[in-house]
A and B are shown apart, each in its own frame.
Chain A
Amino acid sequence: MRETGGAGSLIELAERIVGLGRQMGADEVEAAVSDGREFSVDVRFGNVENLVEAGSRYLSFRIIKDKKTAHATSSDLQDETLERLVRNAVDRAALGSRDECAGLPPLSPDRIDIASLRLYDPRVAELQASQKIRLAKETERIALEDKRITNSHGASFITNEVTAVLASSNGFVGSYDQTFCSLSVGLQAGETDEKVEDYWVSVDRFVQNLEPPETVAKKAVERTVRQLHPRKVRTQTVPVIFEPGMTDWLVGFLFSCISAVAVYQKTTFLAGRLGERIGNEKITVIDDGLMPGRLGSRPFDSEGVPCRKTIVFENGVLRQFLCSTYAGRKLGLPPTGNSDGGSVGPNNFYLQPGTSTPQEIIASTERGLILTRTIGHGLNPVTGDVSRGAFGLWVEGGEIAFPVSEVTIAGNLEQILGQVAMVGNDLDFRAPVCGPTIKIAAMTVAGE
């Protein structure tokens, strides 16, 4: 385990809470401390607009007494506050209801080698503010060189360093450090009443893996200007191609439907359907917390359960729900290392890539919509229904014909997964929940 400057005193704090809770009568106690440093700079038209720098430390804990659970969090870490919060939690638990599934997981004998996960880049801390400002300015400057760009939302460089510590009365003690950095720019093109906008962001744990300013700027410009002079289309049912960023939200919606919490609460259409074929054979979806350097990797979840690789959908068949200890007990399933502070969260949750290039997918489409952006809500896990405001590029004869705006796409996740016609080879793990380009054989596009 990495030894860090602050981790020792953080572990001490977490262990002190566990001891305090036990002393006050709790059967089980789990305490987590997060200690973070944040830096962000926003520049716009070459000038620094906002500069934020801060450090903060939070504690969260839960106690279980007689199979009754109480939670607390605090950013006030003074002794008397902490003692009061622990005492209150023990008192509150008595007012709750007995729940046979409540409680901590048993201590796992498995330990993940944290160094091999590559979660921490020391260069993030070493990077000077002036360098970060320069990178943001450079990105925006390059983007603004393109004459089609008429306004800027600004460019940002953000870094985060976080130490996470967990201690439990089952004997678990663990900690890890992680870093994140991002470089982004948001742009507008077109005149006052005909504006279009988009952005691009590069995120990584390692400074050296960030896309350089030229790339971020170029992608943001390209994504923005390709929407200029959009048309509306007639209401129709056509193939819809999801760009990777769009597949990301679809996969994110899928996650909310296979979370064991949603399953036991029956707030997902996939409840009770383990082992059934849901999508077609092209659908293989995996959750993997152990991919070196990836954004969603971590050695253990918020309960100290070691992370792992779980196949959720295998060639269209629903194999596994992702479980916290509690939700797993409700369903008679083992925890999968996906506990996320009382709920269930994804690690690296992705749709397995296929073999087609994005160009091949477009070329295969006689007539259809490439979905490039959506806005709004319109995702209902209970029914699987999807309905969102959409922007995109119209395809005619296998080629991009013109941009489209002000339409909506609608469908049902189960039907969408059953109609995946092609899966791209362009999965790049830019986000912890992600997928490649995919083509859905038919969806309703509502327009004029």
Chain B
Amino acid sequence: MITFEDHFGMADAERKRALELALSSGGDFAEVYCEYRTYSFINMEEDIIKETAESVSLGLGIRVIAGERTGYGYTNDLSSESIGKTALTAAAIAASKRSASLRDFREARQLEDRYPLAQPAHQASLQKKIELVRRAYLACQKVDPKIKKVKVLFQDSAQFISIVNSEGRAAVDARPQVKLVCTAVAEKEKRREFGFSGGGGRVGLEYFERILSPEQVGREAAEEALLLLEAVEAPAGEMPVILAPGHAGVFVHEAVGHLLEADFIRKKTSIFWDKLGKKVGSPLLSIYDDPTRPSFRGSYNIDDEGAAPAKTLLIDRGVVHSFLQDRLSSRLMGRPLTGHGRRQDYTCIPIPRMSNTYVDRGQDDPGDILRSVAKGIYAEKFEGGQVEDSGKFTFSISAGYLVEEGRLTAPIKQATLIGTNIDILQKIDRVGSDLSFGLQTGTCGKEGQEVPVTDGCPTIRISRMTVGGQS
């Protein structure tokens, strides 16, 4: 647990004053979001610690909601004059006679701490972090002489937030975040390939002793680059696709998660807007988003509106069960809050976002799934994807294999897969019993805001999907 440090020194009276100003033109709701974040960074390449960086971010954002309208102002000048001006900027949206009445603050009780940790990274010495970086670097380099370039990055941050709103809710959170990543370039006869690995989460430095060693991160990056040196062009066209457990979770993030974010539902731009309670996928498919998984990169004790997060069943055996809600959408839709209102930082309005999204485990033996495919591809590692509201989505594999007669044969180079979700979700015909999660290094972008996320899935077979290779 990292302890909350108050860098704002705003007494309740001052925070109340800001909320009063924010509601001075009317409005249903006002909120003050204070954020203090420290960040450190180490970069090793060419056998040296090339640079280190430290960053401090301090500021507050004030939001007013009036009906469907949101006014927002932010500042990093914490003088009471500047805070007052920011509150009035946010207030300008409302322009109504009716105004919510302010309630006294009640501190939200924290039932659980989702970041159990022993050695907070933001308090550890730089030498200790540099040592982790060196270990990953050396482990990567010594895998094979064909590894020509190695780069290791370490980042940690501590984010302290404090939220009060006009309904009287007061909540704080102190969120750690750690990430160690390694990239490797392997070279053979003028051919160059790239490998990547990493890990972290809302953990302390003990993670690198108990869960994932820096050596493993380094080795995995090297092994991926070496594997790709032998890779053949991916095939092009429609074929069966097996998604490997863990990393392939990006599939469900793109194909399903985004389009169940309640803002897209409320605005009827998502293909799922009229599909609550309707079947959109295979009965083998159940999907959750769970911000409460301890130590996960996408987890939080409270969301960025101060609401308690809940494990949320999105798809129940192929049927749309619920949406990812923030406060505005939940109120406008008359549906319960799920605690998925997130923001990148104090300069941003919170919007519905995913946290840790995954396909629930199924019944099938992963080996049987592989043996069931005569000709197709096995998608193992991913570099991301994208979806649009119409349900068209892509994800790009950075490493995988050809499947021939139920066996993995040649490794394949990168390829992008494309499909429409309501079509592809029906084509999921095998779900394995081997649920796992991808690397704890992922970031999701929406409307210019980046937030940390993870995703996961068991082995999955899609009976047919378009693969964008070159051969």
Binding site for B on A (CB under 8 A): 44, 47-58, 69-77, 81, 85, 88-89, 92-93, 95-99, 129, 151, 153, 188, 192-193, 195-197, 232, 235, 265-267, 269, 342, 375-378, 380, 382-383, 385, 387-391, 405-412, 444, 446-448
Contact = CB atoms under 8 A, between A and B. Distances in A.
A72 B393 CA distance: 38
B426 interface: no
B466 A51 contact: no
B126 to A, nearest CB: 5
Contacts of B75: 54-56
Interface residues of B, number: 84
A93 B130 CA distance: 12
28 contacts: A44-B267, A51-B72, A52-B74, A52-B349, A56-B76, A58-B76, A70-B52, A70-B53, A74-B57, A75-B59, A76-B58, A95-B49, A95-B127, A192-B271, A193-B271, A232-B466, A235-B236, A266-B148, A380-B194, A380-B414, A385-B414, A389-B418, A406-B419, A406-B420, A410-B469, A410-B470, A444-B470, A447-B237
Nearest to A391: B392
Interface string B316-352: 0000000000000000000000000000000101000
Interface string B359-388: 000000000000000000000000111111
Contact of A375 (B70, B238, B388, B414): B388
Nearest to B236: A446
A129 B93 CA distance: 11
A263 to B, nearest CB: 11
B136 interface: no
Secondary structure at chain A's binding surface: helix, strand, loop or mixed?
Answer: strand
B388 A377 contact: no
Given A57-B76, A376-B385, A96 B50 contact: yes
B470 A411 contact: yes
B418 A408 contact: yes
B390 A267 contact: no
Contact of A53 (B89, B274, B466): B89
Contacts of B149: 265-267
B96 interface: no
Contacts of B269: 151, 153, 188, 197
Given A49-B68, A97-B50, A380-B414, A408 B466 contact: yes
Given A96-B49, A382-B194, A76 B76 contact: yes
A376 B194 CA distance: 19
Nearest to B149: A266
Interface string B65-79: 000111111111100
Nearest to A92: B52
Contacts of B194: 267, 380, 382-383
A388 B418 CA distance: 8
Contacts of A389: 386, 392-394, 416, 418, 468
Interface in B37-63: 41, 45, 48-59
A50 B71 CA distance: 6
Contacts of A188: 269, 389-390
A8 B193 CA distance: 49
A52 B90 CA distance: 7
B202 to A, nearest CB: 23
A387 B414 contact: yes
Given A48-B93, A387-B468, A407 B71 contact: no
Contacts of B422: 193
